[in-house]
Structure 1
Amino acid sequence: MCWRVSVFALCSMLVWGSRARGEADDALQRCFCQVTGNLDDCICDVETIDRFNNHKLFPKLQKLVESDYFRYYKVNLKKPCPFWNDTSHCGVRDCAVKPCSSDEVPGFKSPGYKYTEEANHLDEHLYECEKEKRLSAVDESLSEEALKAMLKWNQHDDSADNFCELDDEDSPDAEYVDLLKNPERYTGYKGEDTWRIWNSIYEENCFKPKAVPKPLNPFIPTRGENDGKVFYNWLEGLCVEKRAFYRLISGLHASINVHLSAKYLLKETWMDKIWGHNITEFQKRFDAALTQEEGPKRLKNLYFIYLIELRAISKVLPFFERSSFLLYTGNHSKDIENKQLLLDVLHDANNFPLHFDEHSLFSGDKREADKLKEDLREHFRNISRIMDCVGCFKCRLWGKLQTQGLGTALKILFSEKQIENLTDSSQSSGFHLKRQEIVALFNAFARISTSVNELETFRKLLQNIQDP
């Protein structure tokens, strides 16, 4: 409650103080004064999320994704764009991604080994030989039992429950990337290429008539002053599922923009680069006056996607609680320690008091609900494919990871019965997460969590904008 009071008190005091202070407060008001109180279609409020994330979950989550199991993500950055012919790539040095050689990555096993205790101890001699090979290679000396296990897992991995297309980990183009050495930040990739990506996402996959322009869409030749109002009036007329879908995509977009504003190239010399918070860039993306009132709505959608992903990781707790599940990297003591940290994060998420109620979605006629769910699934798969059209490889890496993480969260939310039927020693329920999905799920949520945490920094910077 104290947070809500402080925000409203701040808004009411904007008219006071010096001119410089007034300008600073105006900037703060335009970005944040609408970002308070209850979220649309939710019982939760912004202030509860801020307290929970910034003071409880964020530090643990950051430590978790810095561990060896979560810092390495296998991805294919060489897939061609499936929607338009585009061979252009960002020539900026900061767009490059440096993959890992096999000897840099801790002892992950090949895709046939699905990170269970049985798999990790099938054959120690085989494992030592396997380490000498490329991580994605399949050892021909696998036993018949192991090959059957591989087939069973692949059947789960290819499940129609997936909300996005996963990269083929057996492809020679799929490589491990160290996420800590390739951080998400501003690369200089911008302009028409980036707008083409987001235009395709919003215009073709967000369930809106083409006659209703999305605010600030540069591909619309003319835009009246009331276009934003028309758009959001139309959005509120959608069913809750399609409205939620739009807010998820908008929230993901907002989160990425917060990251780019918080990790901006402020200064470059021949010896070093300095990255930090760029207030001007943040205002350009979120200031109400500069975005025709859309910026604060984007920030509220950031909180919406936070709730969705938080709910997903709380619901998947039984999958990770099983004693047979290990965060296997080859370092036994660290693996046990990191699993306990993972469970701490999951229990904190589970104890959050104001979760999003996913049962409010797809609750009508079963046939219509199933058709709507499949429509949303297909639209999200299209968005995951669009990530292969991003010309900046570092942007593509983080776009694919965060899209896959959100897709995994949606898969979890709508696999409730399968998760409830999980046993400690089998996957007979039909629910399974590949390591690639697990890494994406928690890193994507860590990105959302970071964005929420960064908003507090930008609040403070805007309050002190008049300081030299």
Structure 2
Amino acid sequence: MTSLLLKCFVLLAISLLLDAKNGSKSQPSACFCKLQGEVDDCSCKVENLDSLNNRKVYPVLKSLLQRDYFRYFKVNLIKPCPFWSDDSRCALKDCHVQSCTEDQVPEGLKGNKNEREPNKYSKEAQKEEPNCNEERKLGALDRTISAESMEAFKNWTQHDDKQETFCEIDDEYTPDCQYVDLLLNPERYTGYKGASPHRIWKSIYEENCFKPEKLVYGSKKSLAGSMEGLCLEQRAFYRLVSGLHTSINLHLCNEYLFPAKNLLSSPEFGPNTEEFIRRFDPKPTKGQGPQRLKNLYFTYLVELRALVKAAPYLEEEDFFTGNPEEDKDVKEGVKDFLEIIKSFPDHFDESKLFKGDPKVAEKLKTEFREHFRNISRIMDCVGCDKCKLWGKLQVQGMGTALKILFSGDRIGLESTVNAHHKQRFQLRRSEIVSLFNAFGRLSSSIQTIEKFRKLTS
């Protein structure tokens, strides 16, 4: 009996020591302490969005975004930063794509898919600034585009030129624009860290975002109660940006580069629970982490509502690629997707925004629009091509969602925009592609939260 008790005490002591060494298994669950109940400034519950997204939306949307119409995004990645001349990152100087017109792209231009990344991403290396070669390789774009796709793009452009346009999309027709295959360039860890990305986000939060008065980006000061000084529109803007920021960070945590386990293996991408805890646990973030995760759900709701409002318009879109069978499948897939999200009973209500005194509301809406326009311009200052690609795409997608929400004869849950009023409302191909892919990123992020919930439980 004495021997048995002694063994129990020894095992208990070992367990306590291991918990202390690993920071305790119960700690990571604190990341999810706010992920329940109603989304802030909305009536929808987090649990309902988890169920909708993970069971219905994510599987359908993931498949849809593999299609040619959505996988190719036309973007200008060499547009100069309008706010500062140099972000002091080697990637900005060396890791850019030499753009050319579609007719100039040679058939044999292929990315080197067999090149392996060097094993230089140890725990110690993550604490240091990555050297130029490491960052350049991780941040470089795979520019592989087949000759067949390049020929099809010409027909796509001719088709778009025949459509009435609602507004001009930045860079759409400049010779510096190029098509990028999103499937060959997934959003993941690139080694882009330190002063440069900090400067990007600091500029967004400090200069172009409505925020709590005393909150300084990077200070890690608690946000408890600090949102009370902001009106609904200002809170909405802040949560939109925070939700986007959270989504990007979740993808970096989920697609993190780990060093090779031995000399015969290669570095691999995968989920990093330590990085997730560092960014979202209450303790290292001074209480901000869980709220950041919840803001993701607000951003998701806003873009979800935009897709529903634009459903009549999108159902009339032909999703032209020049392949009749492919176009038919995409059209049917989009219709199935829209039916799923239209059936959701608790959407974001945009009519609650910009109410009250008309002059005050109009002034606030103008500030809202100008702030967001500046954020889209800041994306040209990102010093990593892959980061810039996904930053520009997701910001444009969010901008398209806001355009939809405040278009049409009226706003509110009963309002829609459709293809029968093209003189008053029009979406270009790049807007549709960015809208669906941006929402796809948010959908993937919510699914990723569930993954980390299981990994840290």
The verdict on a shared fold, with TM-score over 0.5 as the criterion, is yes
CA distance in 2, matches of 1:21, 1:435: 53
**Is 1:175 aligned to residue 167 of structure 2?**
no
Specify the alignment match of 1:390 in structure 2: 382
Inter-CA distance 328–239: structure 2 relative to 1 (3 Å threshold): same
Specify the alignment match of 1:329 in structure 2: 321
Look up the equivalent residue of 2:295 and give its one-letter code.
Answer: N
**Is 1:98 aligned to residue 90 of structure 2?**
no
CA distance in 2, matches of 1:327, 1:358: 27
1:190 to 168, 190, 193: 193
1:427 to 422, 425, 436: 422
CA distance in 2, matches of 1:377, 1:339: 31
Contact 1:312 1:409 in 2 (8 A): yes
Q: What SS does the aligned partner of 1:340 have?
A: helix
Contact 2:309 2:416 in 1 (8 A): no
Deviation per CA, 1:94-149: give whole Å up to 9, x if none.
101133547252623253422xxxxxxxxxxxxxxxxxxxxxxxxxxxxxxx7xx5
Specify the alignment match of 1:212 in structure 2: 214
Q: What SS does the aligned partner of 1:275 have?
A: strand
Specify the alignment match of 1:315 in structure 2: 309
CA distance in 2, matches of 1:52, 1:413: 21
Inter-CA distance 59–422: structure 2 relative to 1 (3 Å threshold): closer
Contact 2:243 2:295 in 1 (8 A): yes
CA distance in 2, matches of 1:286, 1:170: 40
Look up the equivalent residue of 1:98 and give its one-letter code.
Answer: D
1:266 to 258, 265, 269: 258
Look up the equivalent residue of 2:241 and give its one-letter code.
Answer: I
1:445 to 439, 443, 452: 439
Contact 2:31 2:290 in 1 (8 A): yes
Contact 1:309 1:409 in 2 (8 A): yes
Q: CA deviation at 1:208?
A: 3.9
Contact 2:156 2:322 in 1 (8 A): no
Contact 2:256 2:269 in 1 (8 A): yes
Aligned ranges 1:122-271 → 2 under 5 Å: 149=162, 152-153=164-165, 156-158=166-168, 166-208=169-211, 212-214=214-216, 216-217=218-219, 227-229=221-223, 232-268=224-260
CA distance in 2, matches of 1:390, 1:449: 24
Specify the alignment match of 1:162 in structure 2: none
Q: CA deviation at 1:416?
A: 3.3
Q: CA deviation at 1:37?
A: 1.3
Consecutive unaligned residues of structure 1, counting only runs of 5 or more, are 1-16, 115-145, 159-165, 218-222, 464-468
Deviation per CA, 1:68-114: give whole Å up to 9, x if none.
10000000000110001116442311101133547252623253422
* More moved, 37-46 vs 192-201: 37-46
Look up the equivalent residue of 1:412 and give its one-letter code.
Answer: I
* More moved, 181-190 vs 87-96: 87-96
Deviation per CA, 1:380-405: give whole Å up to 9, x if none.
00000000000011000000000001
**Is 1:61 aligned to residue 71 of structure 2?**
no
Look up the equivalent residue of 2:347 and give its one-letter code.
Answer: H
2:299 to 278, 288, 305: 305
Aligned ranges 1:401-412 → 2 under 5 Å: 401-412=393-404
CA distance in 2, matches of 1:432, 1:206: 27
Inter-CA distance 262–104: structure 2 relative to 1 (3 Å threshold): farther
Deviation per CA, 1:349-384: give whole Å up to 9, x if none.
111121111111112122221221111010000000
Q: What SS does the aligned partner of 2:238 have?
A: helix
Specify the alignment match of 1:111 in structure 2: 157
Contact 2:281 2:287 in 1 (8 A): yes
Q: CA deviation at 1:283?
A: 0.7
Inter-CA distance 104–447: structure 2 relative to 1 (3 Å threshold): farther
Contact 1:99 1:175 in 2 (8 A): no
Contact 1:100 1:175 in 2 (8 A): no
Q: CA deviation at 1:420?
A: 4.6
CA distance in 2, matches of 1:72, 1:279: 31
Q: CA deviation at 1:21?
A: 6.7
Contact 1:215 1:228 in 2 (8 A): no
CA distance in 2, matches of 1:420, 1:345: 17
Contact 1:321 1:343 in 2 (8 A): yes
Look up the equivalent residue of 1:250 and give its one-letter code.
Answer: S
Look up the equivalent residue of 2:312 and give its one-letter code.
Answer: P
Deviation per CA, 1:282-312: give whole Å up to 9, x if none.
1110010010000000000011101111111
Number of residue equivalences? 389
CA distance in 2, matches of 1:353, 1:77: 40
Contact 2:64 2:333 in 1 (8 A): yes
Specify the alignment match of 1:38 in structure 2: 38
Aligned ranges 1:368-383 → 2 under 5 Å: 368-383=360-375
CA distance in 2, matches of 1:421, 1:462: 43
**Is 1:360 aligned to residue 406 of structure 2?**
no
Inter-CA distance 421–335: structure 2 relative to 1 (3 Å threshold): closer
Q: What SS does the aligned partner of 2:225 have?
A: helix
Specify the alignment match of 2:7 in structure 1: none
Task: Please tell me the root mean square deviation across aligned C-alpha atoms, in Å.
Answer: 2.3
Contact 1:215 1:294 in 2 (8 A): no
Q: What SS does the aligned partner of 1:334 have?
A: helix
Identity of aligned residues (%): 50
Deviation per CA, 1:46-76: give whole Å up to 9, x if none.
1111111000110000011111100000000
Look up the equivalent residue of 1:111 and give its one-letter code.
Answer: T
CA distance in 1, matches of 2:327, 2:32: 41
Inter-CA distance 423–305: structure 2 relative to 1 (3 Å threshold): closer
Inter-CA distance 270–245: structure 2 relative to 1 (3 Å threshold): farther
Q: What SS does the aligned partner of 1:416 have?
A: coil
Q: CA deviation at 1:271?
A: 6.6
Consecutive unaligned residues of structure 2, counting only runs of 5 or more, are 1-13, 92-131
Q: CA deviation at 1:343?
A: 1.1
